Structure 1
Amino acid sequence: MPLTDAAVRSLKASGKDRKVADSGGLYLLVTAKGGRLWRLKYRFDNKEKTLALGAYPDVGLADARKKRDEAKSLLRGGTDPSAQRRLDKITASVARARTFSAVADEYIALQKRKGRAPATITKTEWVIDLARPVLGVRPINEITAPEILVALRQVEKRGRLETARRMRGVIGSVFRFGISSALCETDPTQALKGAIAGPQPKHHAALLQPKAFGGLLRSIREYDGTPEVRTALELSALLFPRPGELRQAHWSEFDLTTAVWSVPAGRMKMRREHRVPLSTQAVAILRDLHAITGWGQFLFPSVRSGKKPLSDNALNAALRRMGFTKGEATAHGFRATASTILNESGKWSVDAIERQLAHKDADAVRRAYHRGDHWDERVQMMQWWADQLDAMRSIKS
């Protein structure tokens, strides 16, 4: 007759293993040492088999019967419960190995193999590390949009809106890599568009009037700090690159004979090589600088180590020491000044100015068909701009 809870509790060891039947092939194996183990006897393909269902009291009588019924249901469908259990274990093991962290690490390794810039890899790793506490141990194919939103909200609450926005994009990239690798089927981040507050556009402080900008140029020329920093500021005004592009510049990128600086794609924001025409003033400054730092790799080596470039705060710190507040002038602001004055001069095409600034064309169709770099015009424009800086530097009243 079927077992009862009381009967199961009262079963004692008898010095040898014995089976106590319940019903439907379910029985309790009472071991010689008193262990009580649920077992199910069944037949599959005309062979008698046994399925372990757990140990009492962790698995009670009701639970054991439920497991028995589930196994019987598989049998009716033509599936061997033992084989299904082995498959479930394998599937679970694979799922555990395919956590968000594991897939993210594979994604990062792929980016490295593709030759992505080290700075880009570092930023990606940093953003993914922000997500790991919430998503790291979760199987990637089980992660839902609300879980990702929890991770994003933690960053958003700290006021880091741009980081939260970038974080959603990077997590989405990991999921899309997972889809292409057959590790998951969907990208939950697509459902989170607009869920995070967007950052306010950041405008870099810049002096836009020739007289005021001339005062800044004189202050740079008279700066009593290191010649490397003074030269970096002068070239920032002459060439108006992004600060990181200039700080990390290598001597091998410059051809002073043909007056061209070729910035490699890996260091450009748009990930394509960028050529910069060098005015006669820029070439003269670079020749003087070569006598100071030409022994090494970088134009502007760190004061702590010649194997590293100038720090990212060095130029702004110098501007502060000159007396310019962060609301008046920044290293990035030279680009805004050049763009404003070049456009207002009416002498140069917008396309030439935008190419020199290495901006991405906002119009996708125009970007696809408009591939000229306006080199000849840019050569003339950069010399005109250098001459204008000399003129602005002399404006004192």
Structure 2
Amino acid sequence: MGALTDIQIKQWIKSAAEVAKADGGGLTFTLSKAGRAAWVLRYRFGGKRREKTLGQYPDISLAEARKLALEDRARVQQGVDVAAEKQKARREASTAWTVRQLAEDYLQKSIGRLEESTLKGHRQRLRDYVYPVLGNIPADEVRPIDLIKIIERASKKSLHVAKLVLGIQKAIFAHGMGRHIIDADPAFQLRSNAVLGPRPVARTRVMLSEAELKIIMPLLPKMGIQNALMAKILLCTAVRIGELVGAKWENVDLEQRVWFIPPTDIKGKKGRARNGEDVRGFSIPLSEPVVGWFHDLKDLAFGSAYVLPIRSRKKAIGDTHMEPVTLNAAFNNFWKTHLSEGTQRFTPHDLRSTARSHLSRLGVDLLIAERCLNHSLGGLVDIYDQHDYLQERRVALNILADFVVNCNGA
């Protein structure tokens, strides 16, 4: 090699004439009628003439083309058909699964196995964190550091979100290994402690005192009618926010004063106990004030199947319920605007711990108070005591509602 010069190449390109000039050692500069300049390596393999396009000029300079040609000629001498190798790599690249395709295949095959709410969360985290960075990247080219960067970005939102993002990444790449789509799992060795550090000290649940409730309750209407009604129902039923926002009117019997929460709406998977929860479905007796608050919510629902529908976007998304984050945001703004002095900062879930604490303070038996929260005491009690304590819980929640009303929350 060494017959060509950069000056000659530039002159040929300027003249726009079709040429094919050898540099030596099989390296050839070609210029098509369309003006496409490229480097080609010509060689013999198995007695047949072969050629491989090394790349275009000037993207690949004369010096770089000579280096590539030398490397490929050495491999040819070692018995490698470099042109066939390139064609194979191109075919594999055209059929390679992207991260998005792998993730969508995992989600599709998880329908019926995972709860719809879980799948919805997976889709959201993939959309917000994974797809923007890796969506179009071949799944077998992803490295652990690529996943770590995504997890670290998610941690700026919260450590909880970061762990959920790590979880879906581990799930989709394990799925890829199971389907033999990828040869190595880049998420296999990732550990949340190594990426995110030790788990932070758990936040202590807030128990709002009677004095604090007497400050808070009269101000609740400043949150808006619907949010205020939700807050009072949460406090007087001790349910989780997700159980309330997902409630349907078909499960709320205002005449019999009973609200049934189906298994799919209770934290944990259907048919599987988690954190001491009873996932067989749970009936909540409704006190008189709570029945009245539900009637008020029904007037605001405008015929929706949900107790707490999203009305503003009904035409766009159909009839569905509001998201828990909506009430979380309302509580946060309410506290900062009206309660920054005189009360502890609290969340919707803190109303559940507040209700549990006041049930004990009001003299409700431990077992009944735990059943009001759909908790199980476990052990032999859980095995042999199948009584639902509905009437006992009705008495307890009536006492709790009277206490809340006396805090000026009527």
Normalised TM-score (structure 2): 0.70
Please point out which of 381, 384, 387 is paired with 2:396.
Answer: 384
Specify the code of the residue in structure 2 equivalent to 1:348: L
Is there any run of 5+ residues in structure 2 with no aligned partner, and where? 271-278
Question: What is the aligned partner in structure 1 of residue 128 from structure 2?
Answer: 129
Specify the code of the residue in structure 2 equivalent to 1:84: E
Please point out which of 288, 299, 305 is paired with 1:297.
Answer: 305
Question: What is the aligned partner in structure 1 of residue 187 from structure 2?
Answer: 188
Choose 249-258 or 115-124, whichever is displaced more. 115-124
Specify the code of the residue in structure 1 equivalent to 2:91: I
Alignment of 1:28-177 (within 5 A): 28=28, 37-44=39-46, 48-54=48-54, 58=60, 60-75=65-80, 80-95=81-96, 98-111=97-110, 116-118=115-117, 121-122=120-121, 124-126=123-125, 128-156=127-155, 158=156, 160-177=158-175
Residue 300 of structure 1 aligns to a residue whose secondary structure is coil
In structure 1, what is the Cα distance between the partners aligned to 2:32 and 2:154?
58
CA gap 1:353/1:107 in 2 versus in 1, 3 angstroms: farther
Contact in 2 for aligned 1:112/1:121 (Cα 8 Å): no
Q: 1:305, CA displacement in angstroms?
A: 6.4
Contact in 1 for aligned 2:54/2:65 (Cα 8 Å): no
Aligned-pair identity in percent equals 16
Please point out which of 361, 365, 373 is paired with 1:357.
Answer: 373
CA gap 1:69/1:324 in 2 versus in 1, 3 angstroms: closer
Q: 1:169, CA displacement in angstroms?
A: 2.0
Contact in 2 for aligned 1:19/1:30 (Cα 8 Å): yes
Specify the code of the residue in structure 2 equivalent to 1:50: R
In structure 1, what is the Cα distance between the partners aligned to 2:224 and 2:143?
53
Q: 1:251, CA displacement in angstroms?
A: 0.4
Choose 246-255 or 135-144, whichever is displaced more. 135-144
CA gap 1:50/1:340 in 2 versus in 1, 3 angstroms: same
Question: What is the aligned partner in structure 2 of residue 201 from structure 1?
Answer: 202
In structure 1, what is the Cα distance between the partners aligned to 2:127 and 2:376?
26
In structure 1, what is the Cα distance between the partners aligned to 2:179 and 2:85?
25
In structure 1, what is the Cα distance between the partners aligned to 2:294 and 2:228?
14
Question: What is the aligned partner in structure 2 of residue 240 from structure 1?
Answer: 238
CA gap 1:357/1:91 in 2 versus in 1, 3 angstroms: farther
Q: 1:66, CA displacement in angstroms?
A: 1.8
Normalised TM-score (structure 1): 0.72
In structure 1, what is the Cα distance between the partners aligned to 2:253 and 2:32?
88
In structure 1, what is the Cα distance between the partners aligned to 2:287 and 2:67?
90
CA RMSD of aligned residues (A): 4.6
Q: 1:6, CA displacement in angstroms?
A: 5.2
Deviations 1:163-205 (A, max 9, x none): 2233222222222232233222324253333120334423453
